Structure 1
């Protein structure tokens, strides 16, 4: 899977409460409306400025906090194609894969600037920073994870392949 988009930078310890502010809990059954507030507590105008395919680059421990799936879901619904961070909270990481949102750990994220254009090959484990003409590598996703991401999440994967996969 090849992804391409513009970078939005965030710092360390971005929590699920930053991503999906609790004061909008009443919108949890309306993901399109909730997505209008994605990361509002980290950057007030973020949801209004993003474009389909954009990429979030975060610091350490991205997605810490509660285990609710709403956080990665509204990132995806808002149009973000991928999240790259130094590290992720494990539940957020797995929830992201389950809903079809690619999440990539990359130690060199400090070299990536807001506004840079990235091209990501999830099968080969390559990130090209088109803006800076740099290439980074990461451990590529296993085939079954790429299959889950490409089809749009674990629900769609099971519908197509059953409980035992391809």
Structure 2
């Protein structure tokens, strides 16, 4: 199946962390949706001549996670949660891309806290275009839901009424802008 994408450009793209966002959402106290992000991340997108042969690799520096509350940052960094002393990064490597519904599904492997598990992102291609400085840009939105216990995060403290303090499901949200690498052959 050939996929037609307006303005499509094949090439190698570097994720622009200044114009991108990597965040997560988890239920807190069984009530709110607690959303926070990381400041340091990077990666590469290779758009192949056939769009469905494209690939993504990314690394997230989990030590750059900031909840806005230092005591909570320390708790998340500790062994009950992310164990950042032993696992300071999370990595993603895609394995397949396919058309699904009105967008794409991006399958891959997420390595987090020493565990590698398959993850499927619902991916929306936002488009290809030219930036202010004349550089080529591409933008995507992506979302996936993981179960934290599958990655060894088994913190299960509950309130007296039985609600989890921190929910089991974690939504990963990505807003990515990437820049086409300059041709270095010429």
TM-score, reference length from structure 2: 0.22
Q: Which structure has the highest strand share of the two?
A: 2
TM-score, reference length from structure 1: 0.24
